[in-house]
């Protein structure tokens, strides 16, 4: 649909855009990214025919744009117009109608049914029909932006050029506009748009062009372009890449400059003991990965609670009941990890271990009434109604990579299985050594301060500290709970 070959140009004698080449297929949503002043608008102005290139070619539908008559090009390429105050006296419908000029022919230009239909359709698509008779001056910035989009759509172009179309739009209109553009590309419209918001561009664009100093830095899919190194090289800013929670597209988070960050240490002195729960409220929120009844998954958590429940606790609505319990005791559910156990709080075991530049603090409760050997075939996988679960909290006083979080869980699980084996805990159904219980829960939480820990495998300082602390605390917790059983 569009080929740009070795395009250079600018204003006066200076070159702003330098040697840019790319092509866009029909039906693509193509995003242009780059820092302020990198030449994005200048490039778009050359594609729309507004600015003449100094060298290179632009081919639209197999024909160089230099050979198009003005109106002929306007029937193919529409530009989302920039707002000027002189337009404010026009009504919405009059403004949208201006988009039809390229389709009107003859000296006495007449308004046809086709023109009217195109204007109505464009107003419907952009949700602007409601204020068709209002003057532009009576609209908000976002509403005006939609009117100008309607004007460009009324032109019924094959290629739509947009310069930051989501500017002035609130969250819901940003989404509506981009959903609309995406839908129109699936009907054959080709869209080329400048974006400042990397995450929106990544979510919606089929391909992205990243510009730096007027030249192409990289072209490709969101997966190719949204790399921390590319973004750092072009914007000179540190970002962190993460997956979008629902769509397989990368997203970038800005990393704000942090004022002098003091290390904090999570340890025994932070343990709060209550008759029916223990908790830790660290002085700073901790980056946490957990399987708690409350606060599962990733999050920054500022309270950790392990609650004792009666051994006959077996409710269908246990999540709701647990949420009420934690809420009533003043815990903010958005910031809390909550676990439950039938083990008495006197039987909590904990260990602190230091290795090189990192320390860990592990807190454990261990009931094994539901002990299971996960490697053996069973006749029934249903949970037994017996209490018994192993809850493990791993606090790491360091700055962990995501890899270290996952490896930390792995190392802790290996250490737990070894403690069960050494204690001779068996799965009552298979008679073999148990690997855990059917309702175990675990968390790993890090201060994200102090020394960087890329790994937590079994031969790293962090992994060794986790392994020892989990092994010893699970072993002690097992001893405590079996001693209590023996006394009963």
Ligand X SMILES: Nc1ncnc2c1ncn2[C@@H]1O[C@H](COP(=O)(O)OP(=O)(O)OP(=O)(O)O)[C@@H](O)[C@H]1O
**Contact residues for ligand X (CB under 6 A)?**
11, 16, 34, 36-42
Query: For residue 52, which phi and psi values (nearest 5 degrees)?
Result: -85, 130
The CA distance from 274 to 128, in Å, is 60
The CA distance from 13 to 177, in Å, is 38
Query: For residue 151, which phi and psi values (nearest 5 degrees)?
Result: -60, -45
Smaller CB separation from ligand X, 8 or 291: 8
| Residue 454, strand partner residues | none
Please check whether residue 287 is in contact with residue 400, taking contact to mean a CB–CB distance below 8 angstroms.
yes
CB of 211 to ligand X, least distance (A): 7
Please check whether residue 430 is in contact with residue 483, taking contact to mean a CB–CB distance below 8 angstroms.
no
Smaller CB separation from ligand X, 36 or 186: 36
Helix 171-186 / helix 141-154 crossing angle, nearest 10 deg: 10
CB of 170 to ligand X, least distance (A): 21
CB of 201 to ligand X, least distance (A): 13
Please check whether residue 35 is in contact with residue 80, taking contact to mean a CB–CB distance below 8 angstroms.
no
Smaller CB separation from ligand X, 22 or 455: 22
Pick the closest to residue 49 from 70, 29, 33 (CA basis). Answer: 70
CB of 36 to ligand X, least distance (A): 3
Q: How far is CA 410 from the centre of its chain?
A: 25
Smaller CB separation from ligand X, 38 or 193: 38
CB of 38 to ligand X, least distance (A): 4
CB of 196 to ligand X, least distance (A): 7
Smaller CB separation from ligand X, 41 or 290: 41
- What tokens were used for 448? 């994200």
The CA distance from 397 to 465, in Å, is 11
Strands (E), 90-181: 159-163
Smaller CB separation from ligand X, 11 or 101: 11
**What separation in angstroms does the CA of 32 have from each of 44, 149, 200, 207, 220?**
9, 18, 12, 9, 11
Smaller CB separation from ligand X, 205 or 394: 205
Please check whether residue 241 is in contact with residue 229, taking contact to mean a CB–CB distance below 8 angstroms.
no
Strands (E), 156-274: 159-163, 190-194, 207-212, 215-220, 239-243, 250-254, 271-273
CB of 54 to ligand X, least distance (A): 13
How many residues does the structure list for the chain?
488
The CA distance from 90 to 93, in Å, is 8
Smaller CB separation from ligand X, 37 or 188: 37
Query: For residue 269, which phi and psi values (nearest 5 degrees)?
Result: -65, -15
CB of 326 to ligand X, least distance (A): 47
- Number of Cβ within 10 Å of residue 222's Cβ equals 23
CB of 51 to ligand X, least distance (A): 8
Smaller CB separation from ligand X, 197 or 224: 197
CB of 359 to ligand X, least distance (A): 46
CB of 228 to ligand X, least distance (A): 21
Question: Residue 243 contacts by C-beta under 8 Å, 6 or more apart in sequence?
Answer: 249, 250, 251
Smaller CB separation from ligand X, 37 or 297: 37
Task: For residue 255, count CB atoms less than 10 angstroms from its CB and return exposed for 0-12, middle for 13-18, buried for 19 or more.
Answer: exposed
Smaller CB separation from ligand X, 234 or 266: 234
The CA distance from 308 to 322, in Å, is 11
| Residue 211, strand partner residues | 216
CB of 142 to ligand X, least distance (A): 19
- What tokens were used for 446? 């890090």
Smaller CB separation from ligand X, 36 or 262: 36
């Amino acid at each position: 649909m569009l080929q740009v070959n070795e395009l250079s140009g600018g204003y006066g004698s200076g070159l702003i855009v330098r040697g840019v080449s790319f092509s866009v297929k029909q039906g693509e949503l193509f995003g242009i990214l780059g820092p302020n002043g990198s030449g994005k608008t200048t490039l778009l102005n050359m594609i729309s025919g507004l600015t003449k290139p100094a060298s290179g070619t632009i081919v639209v539908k197999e024909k160089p744009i230099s050979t198009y008559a003005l109106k002929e090009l306007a029937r193919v390429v529409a530009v989302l117009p920039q707002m000027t105050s002189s337009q404010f006296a026009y009504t919405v419908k009059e403004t949208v109608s201006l988009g039809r000029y390229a389709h009107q022919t003859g000296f006495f230009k007449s308004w046809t049914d086709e023109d009217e239909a195109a204007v109505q359709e464009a107003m419907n698509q952009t949700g602007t029909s409601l204020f068709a008779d209002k003057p532009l001056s009576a609209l908000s910035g976002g509403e005006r932006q939609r009117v100008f989009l309607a004007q460009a759509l009324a032109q019924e172009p094959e290629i739509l050029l947009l310069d930051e179309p989501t500017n002035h739009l609130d969250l819901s209109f940003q989404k509506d506009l981009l959903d609309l553009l995406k839908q129109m590309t699936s009907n054959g419209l080709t869209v080329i748009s400048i974006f400042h918001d990397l995450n929106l561009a990544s979510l919606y664009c089929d391909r992205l062009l990243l510009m730096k100093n007027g030249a192409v830095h990289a072209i490709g899919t969101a997966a190719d372009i949204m790399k921390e190194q590319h973004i750092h090289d072009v914007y000179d800013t540190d970002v962190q890449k993460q997956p979008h929670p629902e769509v397989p597209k990368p997203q970038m988070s800005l990393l704000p400059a942090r004022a002098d960050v003091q290390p904090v240490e999570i340890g025994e002195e932070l343990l709060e003991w209550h008759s029916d729960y223990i908790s830790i409220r660290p002085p700073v929120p901790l980056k946490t990965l957990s399987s708690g009844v409350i606060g599962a998954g990733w999050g920054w958590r500022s309270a950790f609670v392990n609650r004792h429940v009666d051994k006959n606790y077996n409710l269908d609505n246990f999540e709701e009941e647990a949420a009420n319990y934690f809420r009533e005791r003043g815990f903010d559910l958005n910031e809390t990890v909550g676990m439950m156990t039938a083990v008495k709080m006197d039987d909590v075991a904990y260990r602190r271990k230091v290795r090189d530049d990192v320390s860990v603090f592990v807190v454990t409760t261990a009931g094994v009434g539901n002990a299971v050997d996960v490697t053996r075939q069973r006749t029934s996988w249903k949970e037994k109604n017996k209490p018994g679960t192993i809850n493990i909290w791993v606090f790491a006083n360091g700055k962990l990579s995501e890899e270290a979080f996952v490896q930390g869980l792995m190392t802790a699980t290996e250490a737990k299985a070894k403690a069960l084996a050494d204690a001779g805990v068996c799965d009552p159904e298979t008679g073999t050594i148990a690997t855990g219980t059917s309702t175990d829960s675990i968390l790993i939480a890090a201060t994200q301060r102090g020394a960087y820990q890329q790994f937590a495998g079994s031969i790293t300082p962090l992994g060794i500290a986790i392994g020892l602390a989990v092994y010893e605390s699970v072993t002690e917790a097992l001893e405590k709970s079996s001693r209590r059983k023996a006394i009963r």
